[in-house]
Amino acid sequence: MTCEMAKTQLPLFLYGELNFDEEEAIEQHLETCAGCRGELNALKALHRLAGEAEMDPPAGLLESCRAGLAGRLACQAPARRAGFWARFWSWRPAAVAWKPAGALALLALGFFAAKLSGPAPYSGARVRYVEPDLNGRVQIGLEETRQRVLTGRLEEAPIRKLLLAAAANREDAGLRVESIDILKSQSASAEVRLALLAALRGDPDPGVRMKALEGLKTFVWEAETRKALAQALLTDDSPSVRTMAVDVLVQGKQQDLVGVLQQLLRKENNDYIRERSTRALREMRASVETF
C-alpha cells in the first residue's frame, strides 16, 4: 500500500468503516510508515477537537420544542382530538410555563382527577344495583365518586403524597409521566428520589423512565443513582433512555464506569451510544474491549 492510498483510507479506518482486509492492509502499512502514523495521530486529534465542539441543545430547548410541537399538533388535529394534545402530552405549554416557578408553583390536582374519571357521564360511577320496573324500564342504583380539587405547594405532605401515589398508578402512563415530571424538581428529597429510582428501574413506559432519569441527573455521583443508571444503560430497551443514561454517566468519567461501558459495547447496537461509550473509554484511557 502506498502512503497516498493509506491517507485516503485513514479517516474511514478511524471511523471503523473499512472491511477486515482493508484494515489489515492499513495496519501493516502503519507499522512501517512514521509519516502515516503522524497523519493518523493528527486525525485522532481532529476527532477529539470535533468532539469537544459538539453542541448539546441548551437547557430547556427540548422542553420548549415539545411544547411548541404539542401546540402545532393541536392546530392540525380534528376538533375532537385537539384537546388530546393539550391534555395528554406531558410537554404541553402549561407544564413548561409552570416549571420556572419551582417551589412556589401551585399544583392543581383537578387535571388528574378529570383524567382518572374520563369524559363519559357515568364513567366514574359504580353500579350498586339494577332493578326492572313494571313499565318495562330499568332502575339503576349508582354510587358516584365526587371529584375534589386540591391545590398546594409541592413541599406540602398531602400534595407530595398524592403525587407519589399518582407516579405509581399502573393504569395510566400519562398520569405517571405528568407526576414524575413535576416531582423531578424535588429530587433533593429522599422519598422523591426513591420514587424516581423505582420509576427508572421498573416503569413499563419509556417516557416515564426518561422523566425519572432527568430528575436523577444531578445525583449522578450517588452510588445508588449510578447503579440505576448503569442498569438502565445495560438493560433498558428504549434507545432514548440508554442515550440519556450514557450522556449522564460519562460526564463523571468515574472508574466504575469502565466495566459498564465495556460490557455495554459487547451487545449495544445503537451507533450513537456505541460512539459515546467508545469515546468515553478512550478519554479515560481504558481499553474499548475486554479480553
Partner 1 sequence: MDEAALIRAAQAGDQSAFERLVRAYDHAVLRLGMNLLRSPEDARDVYQEAFLRVYRNLGHFRFDCSFQTWLYRIVTNLCLDQLRKRKVRREESSVQQTSDGVRDRMDSVAEERAEGDPERRVYSRQLKSRIDQVLSDLTPRERMVFEMRHYQGLRLRAIGDVLGATEEAAKNCLFRATQKMRRALGDFL
Q: Which is nearer to partner 1, 11 or 124 (CB)?
A: 11
- CB closer to partner 1, 175 vs 195: 175
Residues paired with residue 152 on neighbouring β-strands, in sequence order: 107
Nearest CA to 6 among 98, 17, 23, 111?
23
- Residue number, 58 or 132, with CB nearest to partner 1: 58
Confirm if 278 and 289 have CB atoms less than 8 A apart.
no
Task: CB nearer to partner 1: give 205 or 222.
Answer: 205
Q: If you count DSSP H runs as helices and E runs as strands, how many of each does the chain have, helices first?
A: 15, 4
112 is a site residue for partner 1 (CB under 8 A):
no
Name the segment binding partner 1 (CB under 8 A); options: 60-68, 119-127, 131-139, 282-290.
60-68
30 contacts: CB under 8 Å, gap ≥ 6: 6, 36, 37, 40
Task: Report if residue 72 touches partner 1, rule: CB under 8 A.
Answer: yes
Whether the CB-CB separation of 182 and 192 falls below 8 Å is answered with no
- Residue 85 binding partner 1, by CB under 8 A: yes
From residue 154 to residue 173, the character string flagging contacts with partner 1 as x (rule: CB under 8 A) and all else as - is -------------------x
Determine which residue in the list 31, 133, 271, 289 makes contact with partner 1, applying CB under 8 A: 271
Q: Of the ranges 76-84, 104-112, 131-139, 257-265, which one interacts with partner 1 (CB under 8 A)? A: 76-84
Q: Which residues contact 11 (CB under 8 A, 6 or more apart)?
A: 43
Q: Cα–Cα distance between 261 and 129 in angstroms, integer?
A: 60
From residue 133, alpha-carbon distances to 128, 137, 209 in Å are 16, 6, 52
The residues with which 142 forms a beta bridge, in sequence order, are 127
Question: Binding to partner 1 (CB under 8 A): which residues in 197-226?
Answer: 205-207, 210
- 235-239: long-range pairs with CB below 8 Å, 24+: 236/206, 236/209, 237/206, 238/206, 238/209, 238/210, 239/270, 239/272, 239/273
- Which of 25, 105 has the CB closer to partner 1? 25
The piece of 118-126, 139-147, 153-161, 238-246 that touches partner 1 (CB under 8 A) is 238-246
Smallest gap, in angstroms, from Cβ of residue 249 to partner 1? 16
Which of 62, 149 has the CB closer to partner 1?
62
State the residues that interact with partner 1 by CB under 8 A.
8, 11-12, 15, 17, 42-43, 45-47, 49-59, 61-62, 64-66, 68-69, 72-73, 76, 81, 84-85, 88-89, 173-174, 205-207, 210, 238-240, 243-244, 270-276
